[in-house]
Amino acid sequence: MRSFNESLKGISRDESLRRILQHGGKEGDFNSQERAQLAYRKNLLYVHSLRELTVNAVLPGIRSLLADLRAQQISVGLASVSLNAPTILAALELREFFTFCADASQLKNSKPDPEIFLAACAGLGVPPQACIGIEDAQAGIDAINASGMRSVGIGAGLTGAQLLLPSTESLTWPRLSAFWQNV
């Protein structure tokens, strides 16, 4: 079940619902209108759960990394397919660290398509080849690689990342800087 849940990371709301229904053998049981209603209800439950999100939920090492990147005057973009990303950043008190957040509502394609990462690069005014993308989902790693960015994977079970780290605690400015110099 854990690997199935991992496969839902980094993909669109509609795609995650499709996979859930397929996994449960229910894919053909709902028409497109019913699927849209299910996706809407699923998102309402998720948004409700976000009300309890606080700064204490920031993953280990992330606030420090973002502060170090800002001190180095490195622009940081967010490439999340979640329409709830702005709400999450606000709840975690991290919005100030991001120079640009790609607008997921403008996407035609979800990860593993590189569109969201290319939009973030464009918003930052930086070519993909001059960027590092960080992901905890396989679809995201595939999208980063397809975009031409350098890829950093966080967590076990990811393939294709140019740098794979066990957790966000290992994600530091010195480590990213060394990775950039050695690739």
Binding-site sequence positions for substrate: 8-13, 16, 42, 80-84, 111
Distances 43 to 16, 37, 116, 129, 173 between C-alpha atoms, Å: 11, 10, 20, 34, 34
Binding residues: 8-13, 16, 42, 80-84, 111, 135-136
Rounded CA-CA distance 66/56 in Å is 16
Show the 3-state SS of 98-115.
CCEECCHHHCCCCCCCCH
Distance of alpha carbon 21 from alpha carbon 15, whole angstroms: 10
- Summarize the annotated binding site for Mg(2+) as residue ranges: 135-136
Query: Residues with Cβ < 8 Å from 151, sequence gap 6 or more?
Result: 132, 133, 135, 141, 144, 145, 160, 161, 162, 163
The whole-angstrom distance between residue 67's C-alpha and the CA centroid of its chain comes to 19
Question: Using only C-alpha atoms, what is the Rg of the chain?
Answer: 17
